[in-house]
Amino acid sequence: MARILIAALSLLAASLPASMMSVQQSPTQAPTFRTGVRTVAIYATVSDAAGRLVPDLDRGAFRILDNGRPADITVFSNEVQPITVAIMLDMSNSMVTRVLRVRDSTSRFVDAMTAGDRARVGTFGAEVAVSPVLTGDKDLLKRVLREELWPGGPTPLWRALLAGMTSLEAEAGRRVVLVLTDGNDADISPSPPTAKDVKRRAVSGEFMVYAIGMERPTAGAGRPATTSGVQTGMVPKSGAGGATSLGWMFTGGLSAEIVDVVEETGGGHFELQSEADLGDTFVRVAEELRHQYLLGFSPASLDGRTHKLEVQVTRAGCKARARKSYVAEGER
């Protein structure tokens, strides 16, 4: 297999249109789109008070607010939507001892893929590299994971996220960048991108970002009080998702900046303690992506400005997570 290409991909042409056009659908078919009308597509994850996914809602259970004003839902589907994802794996110096764990855990995401799903694998550390192959071939994806995970170097997190977006820019529909990291951005390249650059690109290009944060143990005696616990949709509060004690200290995980990017795009973020089951978390991400609702509406005004979005659910105890903004432009 050819060596993973260095992601000078992040310097390619500006993003192609991610917006969807108006839709006609039958109850048993995925939406098909026709030209002529700008339709804003929204992928929403709905969970109950216990954090369980809620996959059985109908169109009437949703309400969309565009800059605070109700918008008519012209597109709706609760059918399984194919996954198109760039998986960006942190291979910085701190991941040296966890390469096999990352490989095997990411393989569980690959195993959870179904017909129509496609993925590509990227890494970031001493270099940012993205596979040229976007595929649903599980054997090929696992071969990339076996042969192309080379740890070392700093953590060019923002550059990696931009490279993941660039690698999907020619794809239609929902485009997801899933990043695994155990640290904040530490890019030593000249003029590195910032969190603002990434957020701006994600919003304008209509990408969805998911992030998994791994803590890394530092010096101490003893072991974590618990070895499991995943938090999604929020930064864990003190003591949530498994407390740490007995002399262990943990660093790394997800910064407030990347959490902000994730929440703005409607993705999810997961914080894991050092020994938590990473594979289970990858499977959870696949489950969320498989059970998202597709909603759409036609903006009343294409003023070229960034509009605030809010998706509400009428069923008691349920909450929707979806992107929070879009740029009200015509077909680009």
Q: How confident is the model at residue 242 (pLDDT cuts 50, 70, 90)?
A: very low
Tokens at 266, concatenated:
């409607």
Instruction: Show Cβ contacts of residue 303 under 8 Å, excluding neighbours closer than 6 positions.
Output: 328
Question: What pLDDT was estimated at residue 27?
Answer: 35
DSSP state of 187: -
Tokens (6 digits) for 216:
């890394």
In which band, very low, low, confident or very high, does the pLDDT at 262 lie, cut at 50, 70 and 90? very high
pLDDT value at 73 more than 60: yes
Helix crossing, 195-205 with 256-265: angle to 10°? 10
Half-sphere exposure for 203 (CA within 13 Å, toward CB): 21
Residue with more model confidence, 219 or 173: 173
266 occurs within a structural domain: yes
pTM of the model: 0.81
Q: For the chain, how many structural domains are there in total?
A: 1
Cα–Cα distance list, 99 to 96, 164, 318 (Å): 6, 20, 37
Give the pLDDT score at 178. Answer: 98
Does residue 16 belong to any structural domain of this protein? no
In whole numbers, what is the pLDDT of the chain averaged over residues?
82
The pLDDT assigned to 37 comes to: 62
For 281-304, what is each residue's pLDDT tens digit? 999 999 999 999 999 999 998 999
Distance of alpha carbon 90 from alpha carbon 106, whole angstroms: 12
Q: Is 269 inside a domain boundary?
A: yes
**Is the residue at 260 inside a domain?**
yes
Name the residue among 206, 211, 185, 243 with its Cα closest to residue 322: 206
Please tell me the predicted confidence (pLDDT) of residue 31.
54
Q: Which residue has the higher pLDDT, 209 or 273?
A: 209
Q: What is the mean pLDDT of residues 88-116?
A: 96
Longest dimension (CA), the chain: 64
Among 34-43, 166-175, 194-203, 209-218, which is the least confidently predicted range? 34-43
Per the listing, tokens 């993003």 go with 15
Is 329 strand, coil or helix? coil
118 occurs within a structural domain: yes
Give me the mean pLDDT over the 218-237 stretch. 39
Residue 38 lies in a domain: no
Task: Check residue 275 and give its pLDDT.
Answer: 75
Condensed to tens digits (0 to 9), the pLDDT of residues 7-35 reads: 333 333 333 333 333 333 333 344 544 44
Tokens standing for residue 25: 């659908």
Quickly state the pLDDT bin for 252 (edges 50, 70, 90): low
Q: How many angstroms separate the CA atoms of 264 and 326, rounded? A: 10
Of the listed ranges 12-21, 125-134, 311-320, the least confidently predicted one is 12-21
At what angle are helices 99-112 and 278-290 packed, to 10 degrees? Answer: 30
* pLDDT (0 to 100) of residue 329: 87
Say if residues 180 and 90 touch (Cβ distance below 8 Å): yes
22 vs 233: which has the higher pLDDT: 233
Domain extent, residue 224, equals: 5-10+82-290
DSSP string, 289-310: HHTPEEEEE--S---SSEEEEE
CA distance 129 to 166: 12
In a domain, 273, yes or no: yes
Percent residues over pLDDT 70 in the chain: 77
- Identity (one letter) of the amino acid at 206? E
Could you tell me the two tokens for 207?
Answer: 């990408």
For residue 130, the domain's CATH number is: 3.40.50.410
Whole-Å CA distances, 242 to 37, 123, 215, 236, 274: 49, 29, 12, 9, 11
Distance CA(241)–CA(293), nearest Å, equals 27
- Whether residue 93 is predicted with pLDDT greater than 70 in this model: the reply is yes
Q: Parallel, antiparallel, or unpaired for β 325-327 and 69-71?
A: unpaired
Q: What amino acid is encoded at 174 in this protein?
A: R
Query: For residue 310, is it within any domain?
Result: no
57 or 232: which leads in pLDDT: 57
User: pLDDT grade, residue 230 (50/70/90)?
Assistant: very low
